[in-house]
Amino acid sequence: MPRTRSLAWSELKIGIVTIAAVSITAVLIFTLTGSRGLVWQRYNLKTRFADVAGLTTGSPVRIAGKEVGTVKAVELVGELVDITFEVNKQYRGIITSTSMARLGSVSLLGQAAIDITPSTRGTPIPDWGYVPAGRSPAQIADLSDSATRSIGEITGLVQDLRGGKGTAGKLVTDDQLYVELNRFVAAAGDVTKGLQQGKGSIGRLLKDPKMAQSLEASVKNLQDITAQINAGQGSLGKLMKDPAFSDALTGATSNMRTITENLKNGEGTAGKLMTDPSLFNRLNSVTDRLDQLTKKLNDGEGTAGQLLKDKQLYENMNKTVSDFSALLTAIKNDPKKYLSVKVSIW
């Protein structure tokens, strides 16, 4: 009997130790998995990337930087890569159709992770549903490629400079261009020195207080004129402020437009002159005849022409007029001498 009791107690101790070990193991597993939860507390989701550099089975899944799941499978589907991962069900409400899955990094050594942006505005994604993929940040390899391209471009630029290509290249290799640029800089220095010494209009403006005061007075006059215009003073001010003046100007413009249209349509004498060829031809003929008449007068042809050109004829006519005027004066002074009326009756 004592031996039988000893064996039962030994078995009981083994059972207790086993239970304790299992409990410790369960606690350790729960502690290690953290927020991932136990197997029955997880659900499966998917996403799809064009490149999964550094992402493998077992890589972490994070929401806002907090680890909430694990990558279970990475499969190549055509030109894209499908990633299956498990996430704790308690985060189902913030993994919605408006969330974005991006490829993140855990360390600088290239280990990758899946980063999901939390969002409550959309619809929760069901089991085995796809989380929309967003644009992944640049990786170290991308930065290396970009740096390599930049170094190549810089090398090509240096080679162009050495080859004298472009303005900078010519400046580096062309001595004449360098001399001309040096002359230009020297000339610019001379101009600046002259300005500082008050030479020229700009120099005087910088150095001469009277010049500055005159310019200030001109600006003030311009401000006064602008103020008067804004106040509606003067013709320009009335044009801007007085509706009646503006209407009158508009009416005058309309009348001018009407006159122009009438001229174009051949209405009136001026319009017919502009549009009627026969009237123009007649007027042109009259002008030609007038030119011929003027030419004959200048040449002394005809009575009028001789009167204009013949000095003797002019003097004779002038003498005749003078004599006739003297005769009229004498008649007025002594009419009986020149006018006698004889009445005879028979």
Whether residue 51 is found in the same domain as residue 77? yes
Closest CA to 33 of 70, 5, 71: 70
| Residue found by looking up tokens 């001379």 in the block | 190
Give a yes or no: residue 220 inside a domain.
no
Report yes or no on 169 lying in a domain.
yes
Residue 12 has pLDDT above 60, yes or no: yes
What is the pLDDT confidence band of residue 28, given thresholds at 50, 70 and 90? low
What H or E segment, with its residue span, contains residue 307? helix 302-309
Give the pLDDT mean for 4-17.
63
Would you say residue 50 lies in a domain? yes
For residues 70 and 160, state if they share a domain.
Answer: no
In a domain, 219, yes or no: no
Query: Is the pLDDT at 1 greater than 50, yes or no?
Result: no
Q: Is residue 168 part of a domain?
A: yes
Q: What is the pLDDT of residue 37?
A: 56
Residue 226 resides in a domain: no
Q: Is position 30 within any domain?
A: yes
Same-domain status, 150 and 71? no
8 vs 287, more confident? 287
Q: Based on the domain organization, do 128 and 51 belong to the same domain?
A: yes
Show the DSSP H helices in 163-174 as ranges: 166-173
What distance in Å separates the CA atoms of residue 46 and residue 48, rounded to the nearest whole number?
Answer: 7
Helices of type H across 208-276: 209-230, 234-241, 243-265, 268-275
Same domain, yes or no: 132 and 55: yes
pLDDT at 2 over 50: no
- Residue 174 clears pLDDT 60, i.e. is over it: yes
Q: At what angle do helices 268-275 and 277-299 cross, to 10 degrees?
A: 90
Residues 58 and 131 grouped into a single domain:
yes
Q: Which residue carries 């007075």 as its tokens?
A: 217
- What confidence tens digit (pLDDT) does each residue in 58-117 have? 899 999 888 999 999 999 888 899 999 999 999 999 999 999 999 888 765 667 889 999
Range(s) of the domain holding residue 173: 143-192
Supply the pLDDT for residue 243: 74
**Mean of pLDDT values over 3-27:** 65
pLDDT, one tens digit per residue, over 121-155 is: 989 999 999 999 887 655 555 556 677 777 877 88
Q: Kindly state whether residues 42 and 31 are assigned to the same domain.
A: no
pLDDT over threshold 70, residue 344:
no
Count of structural domains, the chain: 4
Domain boundary among 119, 137, 155: 137
The last residue of one of the domains, among 137, 169, 184, is 137
- Tell me what percent of the residues of the chain surpass a pLDDT of 90: 14
> What confidence tier does 231 reach under pLDDT thresholds 50, 70, 90?
confident
104 and 159 housed in the same domain: no
Residues 129 and 155 in one domain: no
**pLDDT single digits (tens) 269-293:** 777 767 777 767 777 788 888 888 7
Same domain for 55 and 73, yes or no, is: yes
Q: According to the model, what pLDDT value does residue 53 have? A: 80
Q: How far apart, in whole angstroms, are the C-alpha atoms of residue 241 and residue 247? A: 11
Between residues 20 and 83, which one has the greater pLDDT? Answer: 83
Residue 155 tokens read as 């090398």
User: Count of H helices and E strands in the chain?
Assistant: 13, 6
Q: How far apart are CA 183 and CA 198, in angstroms?
A: 22
Give residue 9's pLDDT: 63
Give a yes or no: residue 339 inside a domain: no
Structure token pair of residue 327:
């005769």
Token output for 253: 């413009």
Q: Is residue 161 located within the same domain as residue 133?
A: no
Tell whether 42 and 28 lie within a shared domain. Answer: no
What digits encode the pLDDT tens for the residues 318-342? 788 887 888 778 777 777 666 665 5
* DSSP single-letter state for residue 100: -
Asked which of 137, 169, 202 is the last residue of a domain, the reply is 137
For residue 295, the model assigns a pLDDT of: 79
